[in-house]
């Protein structure tokens, strides 16, 4: 199956026709205009991020940028060139053209360092990106230079006759689509299979391939779990340095009901904590393994130790925040220390992820509501004077009605406030609320409240 991706991507700030400045009175300009369609057709035929149908809105692009930043740029990351290439494209789409060129340059350097060679087919996508970037910025000379470099690489390193693309291009395209969109996962699987079939010795390609299958399985349970598990086992043996793969393999085994050896978990934990802090470290999944199959206390300890080792790493704060969010959601009345820790982490995340913080702000609002509820519960358990207890019942009833939208329980606490034989504004107001319930013809509790008010002593 052959796919041809064509792009007409133009930055929003430069959305005017690229040929609009040509003048019939200028022969040099006319010559450039005549050559323009040929240049653009060559650009459209390139395999690079600008021709892979990666057009998304700013919100998605900021979210993707955050994901790529969290992967990290530690030396030795075998996907570093691909990371820089995608970051460069995203920066361009967001309007940061200087950053885009810097990332594309870093991508070329990273590829050459990792492959230990000054040139190779792994630069085809990178040179294509640079050809597009210079074209869109109006520097057609440099754009043509990079087009020539792409042609030279493709002649020197042609793809096999039975394949449209070189293995390196298939692999980068697969990795990019895997990161960019769930809608393109099946296409990414196809490209990984082609790349691996051509160069099976590239173990990192196979590791990412089986992780893609694992992620796809989460949403499609028609796939054979045992088959994916076996593929992960083989990939883990071939690529023992990939801790993210190792943790995912452990998680799937535990999910299938296999008894997890504690020594194996501890050994993996030690390795993860020693590695650079990154979303590729496997820490988040390992925390979930501890939470689901060991204990919440052990999971919390792991998250806090990781943060203690790298207190400035925002991704580790995100891992801890996700765990605490789950804890307070699953516990109807979490203790104040846990709740306060969750709120503090969530507030930090909103600052650290300013362009993708909407969901985090919603979560924070829920936490504040939970904190208010917990504070009320703590107060309700206190031994208070009747007047103070009456005031508390009345205010809690209002909280239930206005904030929790729980009319039934709100009515119960207004009854508790009214029953306390202490004349006050709070008692009068609660009685007034109950009288409205009594007089509401459609309220099913009007008869019950009518009897309650009749029994209530007059003060």
Q: Which of 360, 393, 413 is the last residue of a domain?
A: 360
Do residues 286 and 278 make contact, with C-beta atoms less than 8 angstroms apart? Answer: no
Residue 36 has a pLDDT of 52
CATH number of the CATH domain containing 230? 1.25.40
Look at residue 35 and tell me whether its pLDDT is greater than 60. Answer: no
CATH number of the CATH domain containing 149? 1.25.40.10
Indicate if 299 and 215 belong to the same structural domain. Answer: yes
CA 77 to chain centre: 20
Indicate if 147 and 216 belong to the same structural domain. Answer: no
- The pLDDT-based confidence of 8 (bands split at 50, 70, 90) is very low
Residue 220 has a pLDDT of 55
Indicate if 346 and 401 belong to the same structural domain. Answer: no
Six-digit token string for 199: 């160069």
Indicate if 352 and 209 belong to the same structural domain. Answer: yes
Domain membership of residue 393 as a residue range = 382-455
Indicate if 387 and 352 belong to the same structural domain. Answer: no
Look at residue 11 and tell me whether its pLDDT is greater than 50. Answer: no
3-state secondary structure of 142: helix
Q: What is the pLDDT of residues 246-267, one digit of tens each?
A: 999 999 999 889 998 889 999 9
Indicate if 294 and 209 belong to the same structural domain. Answer: yes
Residue 179 maps to a domain: no
Q: What is the DSSP letter of 117?
A: S
Q: Whose CA is closest to 250, among 218, 204, 287, 216?
A: 287
- Mean pLDDT (the chain) is 89
Residue 366 maps to a domain: no
Residue 224 has a pLDDT of 72
Indicate if 39 and 134 belong to the same structural domain. Answer: yes
Report the C-alpha gap between 397 and 347 in whole angstroms: 29
Indicate if 388 and 260 belong to the same structural domain. Answer: no
Look at residue 24 and tell me whether its pLDDT is greater than 70. Answer: no
Indicate if 256 and 211 belong to the same structural domain. Answer: yes
Residue 331 maps to a domain: yes
Residue 81 maps to a domain: yes
Report the C-alpha gap between 287 and 285 in whole angstroms: 5
Total domains present in the chain: 3
Indicate if 350 and 447 belong to the same structural domain. Answer: no
Residue 211 has a pLDDT of 95
- The pLDDT-based confidence of 440 (bands split at 50, 70, 90) is confident
Indicate if 298 and 447 belong to the same structural domain. Answer: no
E strand or H helix that includes residue 266: helix 262-274
Q: Which of 158, 177, 192 is the last residue of a domain?
A: 158
Report the C-alpha gap between 300 and 306 in whole angstroms: 10
Q: Which of 360, 395, 426 is the last residue of a domain?
A: 360
Residue 167 maps to a domain: no
User: CB-based contacts of 244: which residues, under 8 Å, 6+ apart?
Assistant: 211, 280, 281, 282, 285
Indicate if 243 and 389 belong to the same structural domain. Answer: no
């Amino acid at each position: 199956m052959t796919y041809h991706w064509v792009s007409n991507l133009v930055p929003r700030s430069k959305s005017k026709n690229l040929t609009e400045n040509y003048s019939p009175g200028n022969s040099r300009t006319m010559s450039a205009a005549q050559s323009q369609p040929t240049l653009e057709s060559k650009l459209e035929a390139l395999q690079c991020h600008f021709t892979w149908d990666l057009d998304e809105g700013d919100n998605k692009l900021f979210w993707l940028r955050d994901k790529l930043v969290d992967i990290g740029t530690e030396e030795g990351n075998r996907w570093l060139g691909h990371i820089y290439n995608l970051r460069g494209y995203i920066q361009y789409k967001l309007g940061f053209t200087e950053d885009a060129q810097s990332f594309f340059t870093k991508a070329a350097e990273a590829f050459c360092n990792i492959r230990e060679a000054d040139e190779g087919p792994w630069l085809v996508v990178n040179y294509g990106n640079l050809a597009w970037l210079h074209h869109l910025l109006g520097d057609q000379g440099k754009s043509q230079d990079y087009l020539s470099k792409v042609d030279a690489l493709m002649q020197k390193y042609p793809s096999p006759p039975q394949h449209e693309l070189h293995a390196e291009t298939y692999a980068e395209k697969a990795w990019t689509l895997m990161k960019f969109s769930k809608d393109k996962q099946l296409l990414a699987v196809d490209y990984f299979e082609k790349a691996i079939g051509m160069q099976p010795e590239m173990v990192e390609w196979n590791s990412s391939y089986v992780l893609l299958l694992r992620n796809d399985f989460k949403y499609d349970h028609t796939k054979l779990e045992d088959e994916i598990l076996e593929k992960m086992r083989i990939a883990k043996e071939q690529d023992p340095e990939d801790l993210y793969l190792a943790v995912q393999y452990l998680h799937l085994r535990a999910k299938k009901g296999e008894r997890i050896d504690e020594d194996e978990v501890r050994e993996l934990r030690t390795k993860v904590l020693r590695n650079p802090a990154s979303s590729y470290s496997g820490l988040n999944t390992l925390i979930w393994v501890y939470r689901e199959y060991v204990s919440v206390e052990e999971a919390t300890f792991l998250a806090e130790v990781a943060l203690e080792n790298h207190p400035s790493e925002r991704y580790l704060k995100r891992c801890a925040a996700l765990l605490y969010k789950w804890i307070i959601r699953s516990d109807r009345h979490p203790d104040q220390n846990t709740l306060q820790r969750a709120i503090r982490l969530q507030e930090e995340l909103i600052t650290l992820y300013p362009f993708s913080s909407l969901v985090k702000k919603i979560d924070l609002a829920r936490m504040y509501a939970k904190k208010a509820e917990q504070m009320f519960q703590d107060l309700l358990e206190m031994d208070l004077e009747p007047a103070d207890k009456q005031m508390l019942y009345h205010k809690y009833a209002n909280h239930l009605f206005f904030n929790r939208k729980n009319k039934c329980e709100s009515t119960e606490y207004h009854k508790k406030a009214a029953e306390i034989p202490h004349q006050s504004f709070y008692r009068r107001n609660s009685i007034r609320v109950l009288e409205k319930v009594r007089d509401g013809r459609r309220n099913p509790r009007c008869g019950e409240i009518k009897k309650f008010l009749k029994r209530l002593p007059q003060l």
